[in-house]
């Protein structure tokens, strides 16, 4: 936005066409469809130049630069014209023509989405700068997929200690990281580097997938192994960083929340302009900072205030998290918010879900005091229950369905054989998966460091809510044996319930199926009701009450080897599917009445005497006096409701559905609407006259 405005007003020396602005609706429809076919020529070069500039600037600047877009001066220096910048498509195809890495930046693996040019202004050059920086100006490219699968099942007696609960075993052998390095080195060709991206994904449907992007690096003379996320944590001895043409580079994938935000009840997070290219870009950008990624040791992701905050705090490049935060689509962040809210409640246990401000047990936000009281009640009831059941079944059962591993990047000579490529990939994957992992246990968002505590002592029992339990996979013994202040490679594995994907960096897990004892009926049912949209299967299971005793919790956690401390994992659609829509809360007649009354008083819209936001307040006041707890009615809701009310009032009664609004109310709606719209027009007319 900033950029665009600046451009519109032009830079001396550049002929900058000003895009005429039509009415909002017109602009909205057509603004992005323009194409400038003749501006393709040197966009890439120009952008690269700009990137260089920007890169220099970015060295010392903060992320705000990124958020705000490319600095005008950079543009000016780069000689970029607006039309070129606006030609998102042109840029893309340009890049594709060159077969460069940039293509992967701009072409999405997902379905193409609407591009937002304005945001691309700000981000594209950044991406290029990354590319330039990395020296991976590339030529050929290919993709490889392989599959791996991991299935773990755990059954742990409750009286086992946390340490015992963390067997630290992940199936498979364990060549260490150093082996990868050497292996690839052996096959390396000093003349060419192939940028090989390995993405390992797995979920319930797809076993682990490994995508490999091979790109021939022309520029990259830096032959060191780069494992940004490992950073310095990997001892050089075992993972040579020099004189090796293997390059492992972390990358962030699309569709991945980066972290959790602190929940702000009334704050809607900045929404990113959705553009796959941008995401790619952002992620590349973010990846730059992985090199300074903190470790789990440094910041506990599930920690009280939400992982994003922690990531934020820990990262040496403070800008990244801000950037990333902006990159995370709101939906996902909402999820994170939800989670962090949950995680924040230290004693919530099974009740913590319900303490989400957006969704209480009654589906409404409740006061802290109320929450507190309720939580206490619930937890005590849980305790009572678990003691009564203790003798019957003292095992906590759950299984970890699979791990998920994010993308990796590997450089390999282009003249390497396919066989060696396979071997290389295999080495990399196995090394990553098996490099001696350490399991951490996180209960109620806090990492349990005392290995001698029993599960029961930690509140982990077979009939407890396992949603508060999660695991982390951390670097294996080799790295773990480092001095504490050394950075650790937190390979995170989580085992969480749906509502608890505190998606710190690389955490990833999913409950495929969960069943509980039907006994704590009230508690569980409440829990379910408030979350049934999120976890339908759980809902059914619990409602049936037919759940087996075992309370098996099957989770699909992820091993993120890479993104580890900072960044998100590859999580495509499924997480999106889980995005929670607010529960539908039809307006009651009394609410409608209150709304009508408020609108009658205050009017609607911009030109009314008082802005509708005041209506919101008034509305809330009215509601509070009547029913309490109406924070879930935002001004947007009220606006929408008013919209539908007007519509309802307009249509014939037999066409109306849902709760029937009394006709007299509808009449009032119509009259108020007519009055205010008339008033608005009058005011608008006056305004026009004044202008003339």
Partner DNA sequence: CTTAGGG
Partner DNA sequence: CCCTAAG
> With CB under 7 A as the contact rule, which of the stretches 374-382, 393-401, 464-472, 635-643 interacts with DNA?
635-643
Does residue 331 belong to the site contacting DNA (CB under 7 A)?
yes
Question: Which phi and psi (to 5°) does residue 458 adopt?
Answer: -90, 5
Name the residue nearer to DNA (CB basis): 542 or 616: 616
CB under 8 A, 24+ apart: contacts of 79-84: 79/14, 79/46, 79/49, 80/43, 80/46, 80/47, 80/50, 81/14, 81/15, 81/16, 81/39, 82/4, 82/7, 82/8, 82/14, 82/16, 82/17, 83/17, 83/36, 83/39, 84/36, 84/39, 84/43, 84/46
Among 582, 678, 681, 687, binds DNA (CB under 7 A): 582
Q: Report whether 491 contacts 473 (CB < 8 A).
A: yes
Q: How far is the CB of 163 from DNA (least distance, A)?
A: 42
> With CB under 7 A as the contact rule, which of the stretches 100-108, 168-176, 269-277, 335-343 interacts with DNA?
269-277
Name the residue nearer to DNA (CB basis): 376 or 585: 585
Among 33, 205, 584, 657, binds DNA (CB under 7 A): 584
C-alpha closest to that of 621 among 605, 645, 598? 598
- First and final CA of the chain: distance in angstroms? 29
Task: State how far the Cα of 381 lies from the Cα of 374, in Å rounded to an integer.
Answer: 11
Q: Report whether 468 contacts 352 (CB < 8 A).
A: yes
Q: How far is the CB of 670 from DNA (least distance, A)?
A: 17
Task: State how far the Cα of 472 lies from the Cα of 458, in Å rounded to an integer.
Answer: 16
Task: State how far the Cα of 400 lies from the Cα of 245, in Å rounded to an integer.
Answer: 36
Task: State how far the Cα of 629 lies from the Cα of 365, in Å rounded to an integer.
Answer: 6
Among 92, 374, 438, 632, binds DNA (CB under 7 A): 632
Task: Dump the DSSP string for 607-635.
Answer: TSSS-HHHHHHHHHHHHHHHTS--TT--H
Q: How far is the CB of 35 from DNA (least distance, A)?
A: 16
Contact characters 7-46, DNA, x per CB under 7 A: --------------x--xx-xx--x---------------
Does residue 657 belong to the site contacting DNA (CB under 7 A)?
no
Exposure string for 531-561, b = 16+ CB within 10 A, e = fewer = bbbbbeebbebbeeeebeebbbbbbbbbbbb
Q: How far is the CB of 81 from DNA (least distance, A)?
A: 20
Q: Report whether 154 contacts 396 (CB < 8 A).
A: no
Q: How far is the CB of 346 from DNA (least distance, A)?
A: 27
Name the residue nearer to DNA (CB basis): 205 or 266: 266
Name the residue nearer to DNA (CB basis): 304 or 644: 644
3-state secondary structure of 321: helix
Does residue 678 belong to the site contacting DNA (CB under 7 A)?
no
Does residue 604 belong to the site contacting DNA (CB under 7 A)?
yes
Q: Other C-beta atoms within 10 Å of 142: how many?
A: 11
Name the residue nearer to DNA (CB basis): 572 or 639: 639
Q: What is the dihedral of CA 177, 180, 181, 184, to 10 degrees?
A: -170
For DNA, the binding residues in 415-474 under the rule CB under 7 A are none
Among 169, 643, 678, 682, binds DNA (CB under 7 A): 643
Does residue 581 belong to the site contacting DNA (CB under 7 A)?
yes
Q: Other C-beta atoms within 10 Å of 266: how many?
A: 7
| Residue 126 Cα to chain centre, angstroms | 21
Does residue 635 belong to the site contacting DNA (CB under 7 A)?
yes
Q: How far is the CB of 334 from DNA (least distance, A)?
A: 7
Exposure string for 302-332, b = 16+ CB within 10 A, e = fewer = bbbbbbbbbbbebbebebbbbbbbbbbbebb
Among 40, 160, 539, 611, binds DNA (CB under 7 A): 611
3-state secondary structure of 440: strand
Name the residue nearer to DNA (CB basis): 358 or 464: 358
Query: Tokens in use for 467?
Result: 């949603």
Q: How far is the CB of 331 from DNA (least distance, A)?
A: 4
Using the structure block, give the residue that is written with the tokens 């109306």. Answer: 656
Name the residue nearer to DNA (CB basis): 584 or 654: 584
Among 56, 159, 221, 267, binds DNA (CB under 7 A): 267
Does residue 279 belong to the site contacting DNA (CB under 7 A)?
no
Name the residue nearer to DNA (CB basis): 25 or 655: 25
Among 153, 606, 681, 687, binds DNA (CB under 7 A): 606
Name the residue nearer to DNA (CB basis): 383 or 614: 614
For DNA, the binding residues in 292-311 under the rule CB under 7 A are none
Query: Tokens in use for 610?
Result: 């008082």
For DNA, the binding residues in 88-117 under the rule CB under 7 A are 114, 116
Q: How far is the CB of 108 from DNA (least distance, A)?
A: 15
Contacting positions for DNA (CB under 7 A): 21, 24-25, 27-28, 31, 114, 116, 118, 267-268, 271, 273-274, 329-331, 579, 581-586, 604-607, 611-613, 632, 635-637, 639-641, 643-644
């Amino acid at each position: 936005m900033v950029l665009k405005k600046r451009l519109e007003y032009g830079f001396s020396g550049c002929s900058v066409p000003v895009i005429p602005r039509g009415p909002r609706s017109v602009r909205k429809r057509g603004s992005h469809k323009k194409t400038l076919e003749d501006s393709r020529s040197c966009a890439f070069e120009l952008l690269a130049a700009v990137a260089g500039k920007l890169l220099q600037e970015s060295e010392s600047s903060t992320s705000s630069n990124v958020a705000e877009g490319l600095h005008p001066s950079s543009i000016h220096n780069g000689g970029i014209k607006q039309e070129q910048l606006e030609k998102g498509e042109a840029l893309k195809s340009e890049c594709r023509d060159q077969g460069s890495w940039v293509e992967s930046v701009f072409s999405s693996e997902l379905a193409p989405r609407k591009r937002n040019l304005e945001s691309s202004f700000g981000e594209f050059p950044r991406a290029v700068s990354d590319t330039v920086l990395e020296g991976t100006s590339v030529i050929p490219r290919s993709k490889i997929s392989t599959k791996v699968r991991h299935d773990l099942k755990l059954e742990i007696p409750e009286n086992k200690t946390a340490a015992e609960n963390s067997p630290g075993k992940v199936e498979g052998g364990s060549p260490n990281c150093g082996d990868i390095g050497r292996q690839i080195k052996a096959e390396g060709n000093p003349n060419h580097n192939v940028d090989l991206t390995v993405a390992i994904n797995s979920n319930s449907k797809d076993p682990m997938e490994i995508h490999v992007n091979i790109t021939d690096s022309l520029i990259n003379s830096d032959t060191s192994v780069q494992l940004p996320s490992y950073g310095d944590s990997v001892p050089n001895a075992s993972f040579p960083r020099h004189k090796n043409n293997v390059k492992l580079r972390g990358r962030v994938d699309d569709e991945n929340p980066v972290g959790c935000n602190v929940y702000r009840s009334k704050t809607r997070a900045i929404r990113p302009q959705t553009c796959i290219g941008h995401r790619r870009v952002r992620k590349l950008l973010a990846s730059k900072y992985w090199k300074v990624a903190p470790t789990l040791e440094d910041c506990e992701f599930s920690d009280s205030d939400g992982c994003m905050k922690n990531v934020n705090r820990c990262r040496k490049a403070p800008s990244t998290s801000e950037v990333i935060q902006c990159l995370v689509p709101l939906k996902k962040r909402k999820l994170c918010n939800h989670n962090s809210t949950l995680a924040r409640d230290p004693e919530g246990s099974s009740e913590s879900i319900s303490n989400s401000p957006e969704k209480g047990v009654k589906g409404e936000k409740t006061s802290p005091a109320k929450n507190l009281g309720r939580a206490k009640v619930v937890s005590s009831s849980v305790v009572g229950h678990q003691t009564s059941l203790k003798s019957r079944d003292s095992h906590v059962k759950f299984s970890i369905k699979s791990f998920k591993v994010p993308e990796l990047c590997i450089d390999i000579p282009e003249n390497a054989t396919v066989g060696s490529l396979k071997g290389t990939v295999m080495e990399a994957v196995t090394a990553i998966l098996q490099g001696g992992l350490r399991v951490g246990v996180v209960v109620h968002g806090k990492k349990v460091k005392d290995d001698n505590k029993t599960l029961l002592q930690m509140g982990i029992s077979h009939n407890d809510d396992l949603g508060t339990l999660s695991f982390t996979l951390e670097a294996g013994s080799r790295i773990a044996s480092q001095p504490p202040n050394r950075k650790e490679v937190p390979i995170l594995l989580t085992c969480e319930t749906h509502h608890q994907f505190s998606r710190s960096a690389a955490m990833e897990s999913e409950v495929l199926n969960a069943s509980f004892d039907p006994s704590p009926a009230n508690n569980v049912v409440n829990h379910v009701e408030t979350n049934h949209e999120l976890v339908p299967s759980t809902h059914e299971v619990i409602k049936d009450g037919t759940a087996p005793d075992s309370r098996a919790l099957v989770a699909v956690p992820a091993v993120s080897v890479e993104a580890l401390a900072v960044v998100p994992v590859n999580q495509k659609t499924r997480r999106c599917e889980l995005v929670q829509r607010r529960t539908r809360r039809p307006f009651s007649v009394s609410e409608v009445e209150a709304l009508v009354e408020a609108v009658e008083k205050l009017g609607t819209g911009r030109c009314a005497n008082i802005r509708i936001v005041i209506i919101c307040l008034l509305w809330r006041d009215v509601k509070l006096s009547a029913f309490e707890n109406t924070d879930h009615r935002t001004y947007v809701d009220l606006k929408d409701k008013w919209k539908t009310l007007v519509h309802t009032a307009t249509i014939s009664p037999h066409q109306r559905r849902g709760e029937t609004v009394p006709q007299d109310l509808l009449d009032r709606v119509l009259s108020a609407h007519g009055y205010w719209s008339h008033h608005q027009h009058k005011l608008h007319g006056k305004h026009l006259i004044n202008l003339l």
